[in-house]
Copies of this chain bind each other. A is one copy, B any other.
């Protein structure tokens, strides 16, 4: 009898792929892109190195998927806060920056890998794409802020790019350890973002 893939098999394969991506994400968060060898990732996911190639055509393809999933989550969370977070546009901006920063500091290794760590060019290309998405989200809330008269006239696209670049850069380098300094960093980042957008001194 001829072989045909059943739903059960499909599910098992999909689950294995999911697990592979999830485990690979953890490995990358811990040891970075450079340390995340196919062997190490496969071991973490409980499969052989060869089996990885049943799911991805290359290590780079797996890396891209890891990047997309993790970054996609962040874009989604940020988008929700900026759009539906409640409050006026400036409050939403401040809150969005805070949430983004806190999440990055909670998973520092992953944040570094996603934002700045040297990576395969394929991941680099994906980074550009996701930065575009962050910019679109910030641009919208800045536009609303200007329309509401809460922010001075400005090119929202440029301010959005500045916010994206600034936040990424700030969260990258020291990514300070003591959780006391973390709160200070969030506060500074929040203040700075509002200054960038031209919000008057310090709302709440």
Bound complex: CA A123 to CA B117 (Å): 11
Bound complex: CA A34 to CA B161 (Å): 25
A122 CB–B CB distance under 8 Å: yes
A70 CB–B CB distance under 8 Å: no
Copies in the complex: 2
- 21 A-B Cβ contacts within 8 A? A118-B123, A118-B124, A118-B127, A120-B121, A124-B124, A135-B169, A154-B188, A158-B170, A159-B192, A161-B166, A161-B170, A161-B172, A162-B167, A163-B166, A164-B165, A165-B165, A165-B166, A165-B169, A166-B166, A195-B196, A195-B198
**Given known A121-B33, A198-B195, contact A185–B170 (CB-CB < 8 A):** no
**Are B155 and A188 within 8 A (Cβ)?**
yes
Interface residue tally of chain A, by bracket?
Answer: 35 or more
Q: Mostly helix, strand, loop or mixed at chain A's interface?
A: helix
- Which residues of chain B are near A192, meaning CB under 8 Å? 154, 158-159, 162, 196
